[in-house]
Chains A and B, each alone.
Chain A
Amino acid sequence: MKEDTIAGIATALSNSGISIIRISGHNSIDIVNRIFKCSKYDNLSKSESNYLNYGFIIDEDNNIIDEVLVSVMRAPKSYTMEDVVEINCHGGILVTKKILDLVVKYGARIAEPGEFTKRAFLNGRIDLSQAESVMDVINADNDYSLKAGIRNLRGDIKNKIIKVRDELIYEIAFIESALDDPEHISLEGLQNRLSEEINGEIHVLDSLIASYDNGKIVKNGINTVIVGKPNAGKSSFLNMLMGHDRAIVTDIAGTTRDALEESVLVEGINLNIVDTAGVRDTDDIIEKMGVDKTLNYIDDADLILYVVDSSVELDENDRKIVSYLDSKKVIVLYNKTDLKAITKEDDIKTIFADSINVSNITIIPLSVKDNKGMEEFAKCIYDMFSLGKISSNNESMITSLRQKNNVEDALSSLKLVIDGINNGMPEDMLTIDMTNAYASLGKVIGEEIDDDLVNEIFSKFCMGK
C-alpha cells in the first residue's frame, strides 16, 4: 500500500520553545531535502537514520526561514512504519506554519486528525486496542486523561483481564476434559469452587466498571448542574469559580441546550457546569424550565451543586428541589455566611433526611462576598470523585465506552453462570456463559477479534476519505 506523503505539526501550536513538523510517506525525505540546507550532506537522503542534522530551512528564493534540527527515520523503523522526517524548529506560530506551508508546496498533504496514528495502525505498528488508547491520548484535554491513555498502553487493565480470562479458560477446559474423559476426570465439587471463583471475578469486573465512571470523568469531566432558588447566589458562585486563580474558563460551543454550559478546571478536572442563570429569573424556576428539562439535567449530572441562601428561610421550593436529588452526588453550598443565619445547617440536613432519606449530606459554608469557601469546595470535589485515587499509578481505568460495554457483557455472563449453578444446570451449559465472558473480555484486550472495534477505529480515523 503506497500512500501519499502527509505533514503535520506534531507539537501543540503555541509560542513555545520548539515545534516539530512531522512528515510521513515515501516522498518525505525528498520533500524536506528541497527546503533543507545543511553543511554535512548535499542531499538529505544521505543522512543516517535517527540522527539529528543541523541546518536551515530555506524558501524558494533561498531566504532562510529558520535554524532547525532535522531527523530522518526510515521505514519501517518509524512511528508510521513509513519514511518519516521531523523538523525541529524554533517555536513561534508564524515560523512553524511557514515551514509547514513549504512542505505542502513541495508535495505533502496536511494530515487529517489522527492520520499518523492511522498509518501506524494500518501498517501494523500498533494494534487495535493501542490505537484506541492513542486516540484517547490525542483527544486528551487534561493531565489525568493523558495519563489514563498512557496507562492503557502500558497494560494495567490488560493484566487484570488476562487474569480473569486465565481462570475462566482453565475451568472451561477442565469441564470439557471431564466431558471427554469422564473415567479419569471428575467434576465432583466443581460447582462450589466455580461459584467462589466466579464471584471473585464478578468483583474484579465490578471494580473495573466502576473505574469507567472515573475514567469518564477523567476524559469528559464532571457534568455538574447548579440548582437553587433565585438570589441564592448561583451566578455569583459561578463567577467566583471562574475567577478563581486555579480555574480556566472555556466556552463549549453551542449544543442543543438552552442553558449555557461552561467548563471550569478544578483540581485538574473539568467541571462541565450547566448554568441555568438565563432562564431562572422567576419565582418558580422549576416551573419555568419545565420539570422534565430540569430532571433531564439532573439525571445526566454527575454532580449537583445546590446553592442555599442562609439568610432566608427554607420553603416549599427547597423541598421540591431536594425531592429531585435522590441518589445523586450533591454538594450543598451554604451561601451568604457573611449575613445573619436564618436557616441553620441542621435545617438543611433535616430537609434532606425527611424528603429523600439522606442523612450525610455534604454542606460547605460559603461566602461569595468574602470570597470564602473555595478551598473547601475544591477539596470536596477532590475527595468526592477520588481524584487522588485516579491520579495514583496503580489504579487501572477503563476509559472507552466500548471497553466498558464489553466488561459489562462479561459481567452479565458471569452472573448467568452463577444463576446456572444455583438452578442446578449441567456443567456443559455453564460453559456457554463462561465462554461468552471469556470472549467479551478478550475483546477488551484485543485477544478476540472484534470487528466492531475495527469499524469504530475506521470511523474515528475517517477511513475511506
Chain B
Amino acid sequence: MKSKIREKVDICVIGAGHAGCEAALASARLGLETVIFTVSVDSIALMPCNPNVGGSSKGHLVREVDALGGEMGKNIDKTFIQSKMLNSSKGPAVHSLRAQADKADYSREMRKVLENQEHLIIKQAEVTELLTVEDIEHLDEFNEVMPYEKTNDNPVIGGVKIFTGAVYECKAVVLCTGTYLKARCLCGEAISYTGPNGLKAANYLSDSLKNLGIELRRFKTGTPARMDGRTIDYSKMQEQFGDEYITPFSFSTDPDSVQIDQISCYLTYTNEETHKIIRDNLDRSPIYAGVIEGTGPRYCPSIEDKVVRFADKDRHQVFIEPEGLHTNEMYIGGMSSSLPEDVQLAMYRTVPGLENCRIVKNAYAIEYDCIDANQLLPSLQFKKIAGLFSGGQFNGSSGYEEAAAQGLIAGINAARYVSNKEAIIIDRSQGYIGVLIDDLVTKESHEPYRMMTSRAEYRLLLRQDNADIRLRRIGYDIGLITDEELNHLNEKEDLIKKEIERFKSTIVGANDRINSFLEKYNTTPLKSGCSLSDLLCRPELNYSCLSEIDDERPSLSHEVCEQVEIEIKYEGYISRQIKQVEQFKKMESKKIPADIDYNDVNSLRKEARQKLIDLRPVNIGQASRISGVSPADISVLLVYMEHKGK
C-alpha cells in the first residue's frame, strides 16, 4: 500500500498523564471528537513520583478541578488507601486534603474512564510533528509536506503526524507531554535517555515545536527510591494514621461511601550521619557536578538540596508511603536524589528503620524539554499559534494536581475554541487554578512551578471546602457539571444560608445553664443575652460544642456545618478579603486594547516597555503582576489609557 493513513478529528491531545486525561475527557465530554495519544496505554494517568494526590494547596486544586467537572477527584476517591486533612489545627484557609493512592488502581481506573468515554479515542503512538493548516494543504500521499511558500501570518494548527507517518487532521491540539520531551534520567554517573519509570522518551516533537517558533527550555525534577517493604523496620518509625472522618475529594462522591479501612504511612528522620554521607559525595551528584542543565524545583528539593540549603538542621522528615495494596514497594518521601546508586544505598541505610533496606527502584533525576508559559494566553492557547493549547509539566509546572488543573482548562478552552466560544478564564480571586495559570503565563519562573498556599492572595475565600460554591456553576455553564450535581449544590447553599440566619437570630439568655456551659469552656459568662453566632465567634467555642445549648439545631451534613462555622467565625476576615477582591477585580476589568502601541506610551521605563511588548497582558491587573513593571509604570499606562480614551 502506497498511501498513508489520514484521519480527521476535532481535537488531538498529546500525552495521557494527569493533564492529558483531563484535557481529553473535557473535550470529549463537550462533544468534540477527540483523540488522545500516549507512548504507552499502560502509562495512562501514571504516578511516576509520589503515591498521593493533594496536599497543601494541591488539595485545593483537585477539589477545584472536581468542581469544574474534572476527573481527578472522582478517580482518587475510588482508589485511595488513606486520607488526611492536613493543617487541621490551623485556620480553614490552609486546611488541605491529601490521599494516598493505590497507584496501579489509580491508573487502571482512569484508563477505564477514558476507554468508556464517548467521542474519545485512545491511540498508542508517539506524535512527532505538529502540522499547520497550510502544511495540511501541502501534504502528498505519503503525508510528507511538499515545499511551499509560507505566509507571514501566525500559523493555525491543522493536525499532527505520528511516528508511523499517519496524520490526524484536527482543529486544535493540546500539548500535555509532561516530562517526556527529550527526557534524560540521571542516577549519579548512570544516564539513560528515557522518560519517567524507564518509559520511552519522545525525541522528535521538540524540533517540530521549535520550527513553529516555540521557545523551549529545560527543567529537571526528581524522585526518591522505592524500597522493598519487607526490608523496612517500621517499629523504629512513627505510624501515621488516616483521618477518622474521611472527606472525599469529589463533591459528587457520597461521603458515606469513602469511610473505608485505611493503611498507614510511617515517619522517620535523617540524621547527621546521613547528611555527612551526602556532603562527602556531593561532587558525584550530577546537579552539583554540573551535569544537569535543567533547573529543579526549589520547593520540592532533593535531599542533597535540603542538606545544603538547611545546613543548620540536624534532621529532615522522611515519610514511608505504600505504593499500593498489591505491592510491597514503599515510597521514601522527602529523600529524592540523583546521587549514584552506592551513595543512595549508604545514605538510606543511615535512616532509622531503613538500616537493612533493599532498593527496588533507585532514586533518579529527570530532565526534559518544556516551555516558558509566558508564551501562552490565560486561556492556555499559544499567543502566536492559533489552535495550539498546552497544559501540565510541559508548561513548566510540577505535580500531578497542577497538571490536571491546567489540562482541564486547556481541554475546555480547546473545545471552546473549536466551537467558537469565548475562552474560560478562572481569575486569581476565583480559584487556585486561576492563581496557577496566571502565575505561569504572567510571571517569570526559572524552575518548575509548584502550587503553594502563599501564592494565593485571597486564600481565605479560596478554601478547599467551598470549591463547589466557587466553581460548580462555572462548570455547569461550561457543560461538564450535570443538573443533578448543580441541584445538590443549590440545596447545600440553601441549608447553609438558613442555618446562618438561624444562628444569628437565635438569642440565648444569660441564665445558669448557658453560663455554666460557658464556664466549662473557659470563656466569660454572659451578662445579657446574645445570639448563637456571637458565641460562635469566641475563640474557645465551635459549632459542634454549641449543640449543648442549641436545642433547636436541625440535623445537617458535615459539609453544611463546616460552612456555617467558617462563615460566622471568620465573617470579618472574609468580608475584608472580599473587599480586597473588589479592588483586584477593578484592575482586572481595565482591559488593555489589543492594538496598544507601547512605544507610544512616552514615559514607560525601558525594561517595563520591553516586558509589556513581549508579554502583551490582557488587562491592567495582569500587567501589574509582570516582574519588571512597577506601579509607576502602571500609573503611566492608566494615564495613557485614560487620556487616549478621551
Cβ of A128 within 8 Å of any chain B Cβ, yes or no, is: yes
Say which residue of B453, B570, B636, B638 sits within 8 Å of A124 (CB atoms).
Answer: B636
In this complex, what residue of B is CB-closest to A433?
B576
Known: A184-B313, A449-B587. A179 touches B603 (CB 8 A): no
Q: Which residues of B contact A177 (CB under 8 A)?
A: 454
Cβ of B509 within 8 Å of any chain A Cβ, yes or no, is: no
How far does the alpha carbon of A165 sit from the alpha carbon of B457 in the complex, in Å? 17
Q: Which residues of A contact B91 (CB under 8 A)?
A: 425-429
Known: A423-B539, A428-B90, A428-B94. A125 touches B603 (CB 8 A): yes
How far does the alpha carbon of A423 sit from the alpha carbon of B538 in the complex, in Å? 8
Chain B, residues 618-642, CB within 8 Å of chain A (1/0): the string is 0010001000000110111011001
Say which residue of A180, A427, A451 sits within 8 Å of B586 (CB atoms).
Answer: A451
How far does the alpha carbon of A128 sit from the alpha carbon of B637 in the complex, in Å? 12
Cβ of A36 within 8 Å of any chain B Cβ, yes or no, is: no
Say which residue of B317, B457, B638, B646 sits within 8 Å of A449 (CB atoms).
Answer: B638
Q: Are B577 and A180 in contact (CB under 8 A)?
A: no
Cβ of A10 within 8 Å of any chain B Cβ, yes or no, is: no
Contact-residue bracket for chain B: 35 or more
Cβ of A424 within 8 Å of any chain B Cβ, yes or no, is: yes
Q: Are B454 and A176 in contact (CB under 8 A)?
A: yes
Q: Which residues of B contact A155 (CB under 8 A)?
A: none
Say which residue of A121, A184, A446 sits within 8 Å of B639 (CB atoms).
Answer: A121
How far does the alpha carbon of A442 sit from the alpha carbon of B631 in the complex, in Å? 10
Say which residue of B93, B603, B631, B632 sits within 8 Å of A123 (CB atoms).
Answer: B603
From residue 73 to 102 of chain B, which have CB atoms closer than 8 A to chain A? 87, 90-91, 93-94
Cβ of B600 within 8 Å of any chain A Cβ, yes or no, is: yes
How far does the alpha carbon of A442 sit from the alpha carbon of B583 in the complex, in Å? 14
Cβ of A458 within 8 Å of any chain B Cβ, yes or no, is: yes
Cβ of B602 within 8 Å of any chain A Cβ, yes or no, is: yes
Cβ of A463 within 8 Å of any chain B Cβ, yes or no, is: yes
In this complex, what residue of B is CB-closest to A442?
B631
Cβ of A454 within 8 Å of any chain B Cβ, yes or no, is: yes
From residue 432 to 462 of chain A, which have CB atoms closer than 8 A to chain B? 432-433, 435-436, 439, 442, 446-449, 451, 453-454, 458
Q: Are A180 and B454 in contact (CB under 8 A)?
A: yes
Q: Which residues of A contact B573 (CB under 8 A)?
A: 420, 425, 429, 432
Q: Are B603 and A180 in contact (CB under 8 A)?
A: no
Cβ of B460 within 8 Å of any chain A Cβ, yes or no, is: yes
Known: A122-B643, A432-B577. A454 touches B638 (CB 8 A): yes
Q: Which residues of A contact B624 (CB under 8 A)?
A: 449
Cβ of B419 within 8 Å of any chain A Cβ, yes or no, is: no
How far does the alpha carbon of A125 sit from the alpha carbon of B310 in the complex, in Å? 46
Cβ of A209 within 8 Å of any chain B Cβ, yes or no, is: no
Chain A, residues 79-111, CB within 8 Å of chain B (1/0): the string is 001000000000000000000000000000000
Cβ of A464 within 8 Å of any chain B Cβ, yes or no, is: yes
Cβ of A127 within 8 Å of any chain B Cβ, yes or no, is: yes
From residue 88 to 144 of chain B, which have CB atoms closer than 8 A to chain A? 90-91, 93-94
In this complex, what residue of B is CB-closest to A172?
B454
Contact-residue bracket for chain A: 35 or more
From residue 157 to 181 of chain A, which have CB atoms closer than 8 A to chain B? 176-177, 179-181
Known: A128-B635, A451-B638. A184 touches B310 (CB 8 A): yes
How far does the alpha carbon of A273 sit from the alpha carbon of B583 in the complex, in Å? 42
Q: Which residues of B contact A253 (CB under 8 A)?
A: none
Q: Which residues of B contact A179 (CB under 8 A)?
A: 56, 90, 94, 452-454
In this complex, what residue of B is CB-closest to A177?
B454
Q: Are A464 and B646 in contact (CB under 8 A)?
A: yes
Q: Which residues of B contact A428 (CB under 8 A)?
A: 90-91, 93-94, 453, 459-460
How far does the alpha carbon of A463 sit from the alpha carbon of B93 in the complex, in Å? 44
Q: Which residues of A contact B586 (CB under 8 A)?
A: 451
Cβ of B238 within 8 Å of any chain A Cβ, yes or no, is: no
Q: Which residues of A contact B453 (CB under 8 A)?
A: 176, 179-180, 428
Distance between B89 CB and nearest chain A CB, rounded to angstroms: 9
Q: Which residues of B contact A447 (CB under 8 A)?
A: 631
Say which residue of B94, B634, B643 sits within 8 Å of A1 (CB atoms).
Answer: B643
Q: Are A1 and B459 in contact (CB under 8 A)?
A: no
Distance between B137 CB and nearest chain A CB, rounded to angstroms: 45
Cβ of A251 within 8 Å of any chain B Cβ, yes or no, is: no
Chain B, residues 440-481, CB within 8 Å of chain A (1/0): the string is 000000000000111001011000000000000000000000
In this complex, what residue of A is CB-closest to B309?
A184
Say which residue of B632, B635, B636, B642 sits within 8 Å of A463 (CB atoms).
Answer: B642
Cβ of B544 within 8 Å of any chain A Cβ, yes or no, is: no
Cβ of B358 within 8 Å of any chain A Cβ, yes or no, is: no
Q: Are B602 and A81 in contact (CB under 8 A)?
A: yes
Q: Pick the most buried of A183, A425, A428: most chain B CB atoms within 10 A of its CB.
A: A428
How far does the alpha carbon of A367 sit from the alpha carbon of B572 in the complex, in Å? 59
Known: A428-B90, A432-B577, A446-B631. A124 touches B604 (CB 8 A): yes
Q: Are B643 and A463 in contact (CB under 8 A)?
A: yes
Cβ of B580 within 8 Å of any chain A Cβ, yes or no, is: yes
From residue 290 to 334 of chain B, which have CB atoms closer than 8 A to chain A? 299, 310, 313, 316-317
In this complex, what residue of B is CB-closest to A458?
B642
Q: Which residues of B contact A122 (CB under 8 A)?
A: 602, 639, 643
Q: Are A127 and B635 in contact (CB under 8 A)?
A: yes
Q: Are B570 and A429 in contact (CB under 8 A)?
A: yes
How far does the alpha carbon of A321 sit from the alpha carbon of B583 in the complex, in Å? 48
How far does the alpha carbon of A146 sit from the alpha carbon of B203 in the complex, in Å? 70
Distance between B397 CB and nearest chain A CB, rounded to angstroms: 16
From residue 321 to 353 of chain A, which have CB atoms closer than 8 A to chain B? none
How far does the alpha carbon of A180 sit from the alpha carbon of B639 in the complex, in Å? 38
Q: Which residues of B contact A448 (CB under 8 A)?
A: 631
How far does the alpha carbon of A435 sit from the alpha carbon of B577 in the complex, in Å? 10
Q: Which residues of B contact A454 (CB under 8 A)?
A: 635, 638-639, 642
Q: Are A123 and B570 in contact (CB under 8 A)?
A: no
Known: A435-B580, A454-B635. A429 touches B460 (CB 8 A): yes
How far does the alpha carbon of A453 sit from the alpha carbon of B56 in the complex, in Å? 38
How far does the alpha carbon of A447 sit from the alpha carbon of B56 in the complex, in Å? 31
Chain B, residues 578-594, CB within 8 Å of chain A (1/0): the string is 00100100110000000
How far does the alpha carbon of A435 sit from the alpha carbon of B458 in the complex, in Å? 11
Distance between B96 CB and nearest chain A CB, rounded to angstroms: 10
Q: Are A81 and B603 in contact (CB under 8 A)?
A: yes
How far does the alpha carbon of A454 sit from the alpha carbon of B643 in the complex, in Å? 11
How far does the alpha carbon of A435 sit from the alpha carbon of B576 in the complex, in Å? 11
Distance between A186 CB and nearest chain B CB, rounded to angstroms: 11
How far does the alpha carbon of A429 sit from the alpha carbon of B575 in the complex, in Å? 12
In this complex, what residue of B is CB-closest to A454?
B638
Q: Are B570 and A180 in contact (CB under 8 A)?
A: no
How far does the alpha carbon of A412 sit from the alpha carbon of B580 in the complex, in Å? 15
How far does the alpha carbon of A424 sit from the alpha carbon of B570 in the complex, in Å? 12
Q: Pick the most buried of B631, B635, B643: most chain A CB atoms within 10 A of its CB.
A: B635
How far does the alpha carbon of A176 sit from the alpha carbon of B457 in the complex, in Å? 10
In this complex, what residue of B is CB-closest to A181?
B299
From residue 104 to 148 of chain A, which have CB atoms closer than 8 A to chain B? 121-125, 127-128
Q: Which residues of A contact B460 (CB under 8 A)?
A: 428-429, 432
Q: Are B317 and A183 in contact (CB under 8 A)?
A: yes
Distance between A118 CB and nearest chain B CB, rounded to angstroms: 10
Say which residue of A182, A435, A449 sits within 8 Å of B635 (CB atoms).
Answer: A449
Chain B, residues 346-372, CB within 8 Å of chain A (1/0): the string is 000000000000000000000000000
Q: Pick the most buried of A125, A442, A458: most chain B CB atoms within 10 A of its CB.
A: A458
Q: Which 5 A-B pairs have the closest CB atoms?
A: A124-B603, A426-B91, A176-B454, A424-B539, A180-B452
Pick 14 A–B contacts, CB within 8 A, sort by A: A1-B600, A1-B602, A81-B603, A121-B639, A123-B603, A180-B56, A184-B310, A184-B313, A420-B573, A426-B90, A427-B91, A432-B576, A447-B631, A451-B638
In the complex, besides A1-B600, A122-B643, A451-B586, 20 extra interface pairs with C-beta distance below 8 angstroms are: A1-B602, A1-B643, A123-B603, A176-B454, A177-B454, A179-B452, A182-B87, A184-B310, A184-B313, A428-B453, A428-B459, A432-B460, A436-B580, A439-B580, A446-B631, A449-B635, A449-B638, A453-B635, A454-B638, A458-B642
